[in-house]
Amino acid sequence: MESAPKYQLIYQHYVKKIESGELKDGERLPTEEELCLLFDASRTTVRNALKELAYRGYIVKKHSKGSFVRSGEASMSLDSLQGFTDEMTRRGLKTSSKLLRADMESADPLVSAKLNIAELSKVFVVQRLRMVEEKPMAIETVHLPFFRCPDLLDHDLTGSLYSILEKEYGLRTQQAKQALEASLAVHGEAELLGIEPGAPVLRIDRTTYFADASPMEYCNSVYRGDKYKFYVTLNNLNK
């Protein structure tokens, strides 16, 4: 069995330290020279490891100062199906949510098509301001069919919605389809996110499905473009 490239070993070493909490937010990593000596590695190998850590959102590189753990930015993988709370918690970041809206309404043509239900069917609409380390990061609006979770509004909706759906209703998603679009913040969004109107944002349109391919939820979100990073792992299919 081939051993992993040395830059991956360095990368994995610091991922474990960061995710375990041994290295805290804002802590400085050793210099490139120190890392070369610690791991008996070339400068190129060390730089590749640091580049991967930065790309994955574990560190931030500051010019002439070095590499530091996180920096208050948030990141999320696009190649795994996890909720916002679970993903941020896994990265050691404190999350919170402000409930902006939670009520029931009749599904319009778009929502009914996304959820594969009849128009005017009853759906829950849950809109939340998602925050990381007490900083606003995203506005998330979720649509859920009423018949799947009829007493949803009786629960605390400021935490993990996926956790409520799984524990209280036995609802567990299998896959999701989502589309990303670069955009600009309109006035109301900008005010909630703490940015200027016209600032860059990422809009995400996502539908999650059960194992039988029936839809569970339809969600549209607006993420700050200056504080949020998404990443995806691509595999070579032409082997």
Using pLDDT thresholds of 50, 70 and 90, give the confidence band for residue 22. Answer: confident
Strands (E), the chain: 59-62, 66-69, 74-77, 95-106, 122-132, 135-145, 175-184, 200-209, 215-224, 228-231
How far is it, in rounded angstroms, from Cα 112 to Cα 90?
33
Q: Which of 10-19, 58-67, 212-221 has the lowest mean pLDDT?
A: 58-67
pLDDT at residue 42 is higher than 80: yes
Question: Which tokens hold the place of 181?
Answer: 């679009």
Instruction: For residues 95-102, give the mean pLDDT.
Output: 92
Among residues 130, 153, 131, 126, the alpha carbon closest in space to that of 141 is found at 126
- The Cα 218–Cα 206 span in angstroms is 6
Which candidate, 173, 144, 181, 177, places its Cα nearest to that of 83? 173
pLDDT computed for residue 133 by the predictor: 77
- Non-local CB neighbours of 140 within 8 Å, separated by 6+ positions: 84, 127, 128, 129, 130, 219, 220, 221
Per-residue pLDDT band at 230 (split at 50, 70, 90):
low
- Whether residue 57 contacts residue 231, with contact meaning beta carbons closer than 8 Å, is answered with yes
- Is pLDDT above 90 for 53? no
> What's the whole-number mean pLDDT along residues 52-80?
72
Which class is domain 6-69? mainly alpha
Domain residue spans of the chain: 6-69, 74-231
Q: For the domain with range 74-231, which CATH number is right: 3.40.1410.10, 3.90.420.10, 1.10.3720.10, 3.40.50.720?
A: 3.40.1410.10
* pTM passes above 0.75: no
Task: Give CA–CA dist 202/223, Å, rounded.
Answer: 5
The CA distance from 83 to 163, in Å, is 9
The chain-wide mean pLDDT, for the chain, equals 85
